[in-house]
A and B are shown apart, each in its own frame.
Chain A
Amino acid sequence: DIQMTQSPSTLSASVGDRVTLTCRASQSIDSWLAWYQQKPGKAPKVLIYKAFKLESGVPSRFSGSGSGTEFTLTISSLQPDDFATYYCQQYNSYPYIFGQGTKLEIK
């Protein structure tokens, strides 16, 4: 199975900061990667699919990039609502695998 590794595990940042989260795949997954945001006590929701496509309704401060084995999720200017845990997921091949998550905390 493909393994997905996210870094860092925890990131402390301030409102207004630009932050970048990384997700690495153990083998090439082309651009078949999604990013999800999960807030405490809530179900995850998709932010980005196909590595860079913004889901409808997601603020434009979120962006995704990468292909092959290295991917990033960038938030251009952190808002209070963005402090949450973020997961990547590969869907190049079954079974789907999630990264272990990056928790974005308020500094």
Chain B
Amino acid sequence: EVQLVQSGAEVKKPGESLKISCKGSGYRFSNYWIGWVRQMPGKGLEWMGVIYPGDSDTRYSPSFEGQVTISVDESISVAYLQWSSLKASDTAMYYCVRVALAAALNGWLDPWGQGTLVTVSS
């Protein structure tokens, strides 16, 4: 079964750093783009960026460029989403997703991870 399993919920203070993870299984991890989607409380889905584990080619949505860092450790089939200095406005659910077609940047998203809730509050 193709599966993405994300790390657990986090509660942080403004200004702190954070790295959340997403582990892929059931498929050749290096061959599929992995992306991140933000969903703020009660709001819709926002595309953040994507990375190709095979060569770490990374593309960000303009809204998130410079705000987060996407990385990958191909050897353990894990993708990461990282903040260096969190803000209260980063409070959201974050989903990792796989682009469904092998080696294709443009594709639908399947599967989705279960989500990681990040709460930033003083």
- Residues of chain A having any CB pair with chain B under 8 Å: 1, 32, 34, 36, 38, 43-46, 49-50, 55, 87, 89, 91-101
Contacts of B113 in A (CB 8 A): 43
Task: Name the one of A34, A50, A97 contacting B109, with C-beta atoms under 8 angstroms.
Answer: A34
Residues B112 and A1 in contact, CB atoms below 8 Å apart: no
Q: Is B26 an interface residue (CB 8 A)?
A: no
Which B residues between 82 and 117 are near A, CB-CB below 8 angstroms? 95, 100, 105-115
Taking a contact as CB atoms under 8 Å apart, the answer to whether B106 and A91 are in contact is: yes
Closest to A55 in B: B110
Which B residues have a C-beta under 8 Å from some C-beta of A?
A: 35, 44-47, 50, 59, 61-62, 95, 100, 105-115
B44 touches A43 (CB 8 A): no
- B106:A1 contact, CB within 8 angstroms: no
Most chain B Cβ neighbours within 10 Å, of A36, A43, A92: A43
Q: Which residues of B contact A46 (CB under 8 A)?
A: 100, 108-110
CB distance from A31 to the nearest CB of B (A): 11
Contacting pair B112 A96 (CB below 8 A)? no
CA gap between A46 and B98 in the complex, in Å? 12
Instruction: Known pairs A43-B95, A44-B109; list 15 more (Cβ under 8 Å).
Output: A34-B109, A36-B109, A43-B112, A43-B114, A45-B111, A45-B112, A46-B109, A89-B45, A89-B109, A91-B106, A95-B47, A96-B47, A96-B109, A98-B45, A98-B47
| A32 → chain B closest CB, angstroms | 7
Most B CB within 10 A of own CB, among A34, A44, A49, A97: A44
A95 and B95 form a contact (CB under 8 A): no
- Cα(A93)–Cα(B61), bound, Å: 12
- Cα A32 to Cα B101 in complex, Å, equals 13
CA distance A99 to B106 in the complex (A): 17
> Chain A's nearest CB lies how many Å from the CB of B41?
12
